[in-house]
């Protein structure tokens, strides 16, 4: 009998390790031969720890399981049980997804290269090895893949710039400094299917002629760091990394570098400075990292999900991937639904679903059962979307048109008890805490922003105009997205929920 208990950090936080231990103990006590596999997560956090059993009919799920439930599950022969959820892939949340990037996440043992390959892994790389760099880049360009870190820059165009740059060395850097509140897609894929990221980076390397890659992971992700390090070692032993990638004449190797806890190091130029051992401050662009990146050399710097989406594009072709989506947002996007929501988790789907569908249908509304007041999309720098904008389709241009951004596709839901002025203040405070301090609008502006919101809270209406001017200064004047996007949550809160910023609101609250 083969039983799956996730090793994902979210599942572990909810007791997956204790469940795994209980399964092993119970099997031994009963003298049953049980093969326990620690898989990645299926992404349905409200069901974690989600235990799966392999049956003739496929994988059957139980959840959320606690260690105390385990003997009962054995007693029930993993059949009828109050926690039984039926075939995992039939769970509506899962069934509605289009899993391309996350195809193997939760399905396989993350550190089994054989299982990876048996489930479609390495097919993209094998195809890429038969192509020249230009053809690989064209394939990525043709897929319509855009940067999943938030900026949405066409990945293929970035790669083409690096390909065309003349240099003695080039690098591939993967940005795994996933710091946005309410986001976890990078972590899940690194913990649940690390080889897909490695494969994506190797393809990037052979496409542009880079033979070294760095994976910059935030220190707050110890499980992801361990998983990636283990996977890299396995990949190196298996000849996936090294002087001869899969026996070809292409070389590529990579290593993990761990960040030191600064949110701003998720900004690509700060990340490069940090990788070089310097202060994590933003660099002015130009020059673009594609021209002068790590150690001044042409560098592909992409988000985890962007790179992890490359293997499927190479495997199935640009046209296959491009077929999904809407407008200029092609392919799939792993939505991360969090906050005050009933069904939180990772939901990979083609672009185009409306925000309302995502929150109400997929997420099932708030966990508290109260009405939704606002949804913050795209991390702490994303705009607060009121219910009135729930018909906005999920796409880069579509959100931009509504004064928002999709960012890294984190979606945080708030019910009607939230005080939007406090949320605006938090945005400024977050910016003040995380500012690198290089540019003035962010360094000083964020501090003044907190103070000015406090002034408004004291009932000084003059503060509203100052705050509005300040947000313009920060938006137009900041060197990077941290200062430049902080006005999105602040101004969206002010614009859509002006009542929360009035003196009467303040008095009512007291």
Report CA-CA distances (Å) from 166 to 162, 214, 268, 509: 8, 20, 21, 62
The DSSP symbol for 209 reads T
Q: Is 277 in the site for other proteins (CB under 8 A)?
A: no
Cα dihedral 387/391/397/401 (nearest 10) = -60
Span near other proteins by CB under 8 A; candidates 242-250, 355-363, 394-402, 463-471: 463-471
The DSSP symbol for 101 reads T
The DSSP symbol for 318 reads H
Q: Which of 3, 333, 470, 493 binds other proteins (CB under 8 A)?
A: 470
Q: Which of 455, 502, 505, 506 binds other proteins (CB under 8 A)?
A: 455
Q: Considering beta carbons, is residue 159 or 263 the nearer one to other proteins?
A: 263
Q: Which of 24, 167, 251, 447 binds other proteins (CB under 8 A)?
A: 447
Q: Which of 276, 469, 495, 503 binds other proteins (CB under 8 A)?
A: 469
Helix (H, G, I), strand (E, B) or coil at 420: helix
Residues 6 or more apart from 498 whose CB is under 8 A from it?
none
Least distance in Å: CB of 93 to other proteins?
A: 38
Least distance in Å: CB of 12 to other proteins?
A: 32
Q: Which of 407, 445, 487, 489 binds other proteins (CB under 8 A)?
A: 445
191-203 exposure pattern, b = at least 16 Cβ within 10 A, e = fewer: bbbbbbbbbbbbb
450: left (phi over 0), alpha (psi -120 to 50) or beta: alpha
Q: Which segments of 331-444 does DSSP mark as H helices, in order?
A: 355-356, 396-401, 420-434, 440-443
Q: Considering beta carbons, is residue 180 or 434 the nearer one to other proteins?
A: 434
Q: Is 446 in the site for other proteins (CB under 8 A)?
A: yes
Least distance in Å: CB of 454 to other proteins?
A: 9
* Sites for other proteins among residues 17-56 (CB under 8 A): none
Q: Is 177 in the site for other proteins (CB under 8 A)?
A: no
Binding mask 238-267 for other proteins (x = CB under 8 A): ------------------------x-x---
Q: Say how far apart CA 236 and CA 274 lie, in whole Å.
A: 25
Q: Considering beta carbons, is residue 66 or 440 the nearer one to other proteins?
A: 440
Q: Considering beta carbons, is residue 147 or 213 the nearer one to other proteins?
A: 147
What are the tokens at 189?
């894929």
Q: Say how far apart CA 218 and CA 264 lie, in whole Å.
A: 11
Span near other proteins by CB under 8 A; candidates 86-94, 131-139, 151-159, 443-451: 443-451
Q: Is 444 in the site for other proteins (CB under 8 A)?
A: yes
Q: Considering beta carbons, is residue 296 or 371 the nearer one to other proteins?
A: 296
Q: Is 429 in the site for other proteins (CB under 8 A)?
A: no
Q: Say how far apart CA 175 and CA 335 lie, in whole Å.
A: 18
Q: Is 400 in the site for other proteins (CB under 8 A)?
A: no
Pair 255, 176: CB distance under 8 Å:
no
Q: Considering beta carbons, is residue 310 or 479 the nearer one to other proteins?
A: 479
Q: Is 435 in the site for other proteins (CB under 8 A)?
A: yes
**CA nearest 108: which of 100, 97, 120, 96?**
120
What are the tokens at 340?
């005050």
Q: Considering beta carbons, is residue 42 or 218 the nearer one to other proteins?
A: 218
Q: Say how far apart CA 285 and CA 15 lie, in whole Å.
A: 45
Q: Is 218 in the site for other proteins (CB under 8 A)?
A: no
Q: Say how far apart CA 157 and CA 165 lie, in whole Å.
A: 12
Q: Is 425 in the site for other proteins (CB under 8 A)?
A: no
Q: Is 131 in the site for other proteins (CB under 8 A)?
A: no
Q: Is 473 in the site for other proteins (CB under 8 A)?
A: yes
* CA dihedral over 39, 45, 49, 52, signed as positive or negative: negative
Span near other proteins by CB under 8 A; candidates 175-183, 236-244, 283-291, 345-353: 283-291
Q: Considering beta carbons, is residue 92 or 437 the nearer one to other proteins?
A: 437
Size of the site for other proteins (CB under 8 A): 37
Phi first, then psi, for residue 365 (nearest 5°) are 75, -165
Q: Is 466 in the site for other proteins (CB under 8 A)?
A: yes
Pair 220, 100: CB distance under 8 Å:
no
Please report, as ranges, the residues that interact with other proteins according to CB under 8 A: 262, 264, 279-281, 284-286, 432-448, 451-452, 455, 466, 469-470, 472-473, 476-479
């Amino acid at each position: 009998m083969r039983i799956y208990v996730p090793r994902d950090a979210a599942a572990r936080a909810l007791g997956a390790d204790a469940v795994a231990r209980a399964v092993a103990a119970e099997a031994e006590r009963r003298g049953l031969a049980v093969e326990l596999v620690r898989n990645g997560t299926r992404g349905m956090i409200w069901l974690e720890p989600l235990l799966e059993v392999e049956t003739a009919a496929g994988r059957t799920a139980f959840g959320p399981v606690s260690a105390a439930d385990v003997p009962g599950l054995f007693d029930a022969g993993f059949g009828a049980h109050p926690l039984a959820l039926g075939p995992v892939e039939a769970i509506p949340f899962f069934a509605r997804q289009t899993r391309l990037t996350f195809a193997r996440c939760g399905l396989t043992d993350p550190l089994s290269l054989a299982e990876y390959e048996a489930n479609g892994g390495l097919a993209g790389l094998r195809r890429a090895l038969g192509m020249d760099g230009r053809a690989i880049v064209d394939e990525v360009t043709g897929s319509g893949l855009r940067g999943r870190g938030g900026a949405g820059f066409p990945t293929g165009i970035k790669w083409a710039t690096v390909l065309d740059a003349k240099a003695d060395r080039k690098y591939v850097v993967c940005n795994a400094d996933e710091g946005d509140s309410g986001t976890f897609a990078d972590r899940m894929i690194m913990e649940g299917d690390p080889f897909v990221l490695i494969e994506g980076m190797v393809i990037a390397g052979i496409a542009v002629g880079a033979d070294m890659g760095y994976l910059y992971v935030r220190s707050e992700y110890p499980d992801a760091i361990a998983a990636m390090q283990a996977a890299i070692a396995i990949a190196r032993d298996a000849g996936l990394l090294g002087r001869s990638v899969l026996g070809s004449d292409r070389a590529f190797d990579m290593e993990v570098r761990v960040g030191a806890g600064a949110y701003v190091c998720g900004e690509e130029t700060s990340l490069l400075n940090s990788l070089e051992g310097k202060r994590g401050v933003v660099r002015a662009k130009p020059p673009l990292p594609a021209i002068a990146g790590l150690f001044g050399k042409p560098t592909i710097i992409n988000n985890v999900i962007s790179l992890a989406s490359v293997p499927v594009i190479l495997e199935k072709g640009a046209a296959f991937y491009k077929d999904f989506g809407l407008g200029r947002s092609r392919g799939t996007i792993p939505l991360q639904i969090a906050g005050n929501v009933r069904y939180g988790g990772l939901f990979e789907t083609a672009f185009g679903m409306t925000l309302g569908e995502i929150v109400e249908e997929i997420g099932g509304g708030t966990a508290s059962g109260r009405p939704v007041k606002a949804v913050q999309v795209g991390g702490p720098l994303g705009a607060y979307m009121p219910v009135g904008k729930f018909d906005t389709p999920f796409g880069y241009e579509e959100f931009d048109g509504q004064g928002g951004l999709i960012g890294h596709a984190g979606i945080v839901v708030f019910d009607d008890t939230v005080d939007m002025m406090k949320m605006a203040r938090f945005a400024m405070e977050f910016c003040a805490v995380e500012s690198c301090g290089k540019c003035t609008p962010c360094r000083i502006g964020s501090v003044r922003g907190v103070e000015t919101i406090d002034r408004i809270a004291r009932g000084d209406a003059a503060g509203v105009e100052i705050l509005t001017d300040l947000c313009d200064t920060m938006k137009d004047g900041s060197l990077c997205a941290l200062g430049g996007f902080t006005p999105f949550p602040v101004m969206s809160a002010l614009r859509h929920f002006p009542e929360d910023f009035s003196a009467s609101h303040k008095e009512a609250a007291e």
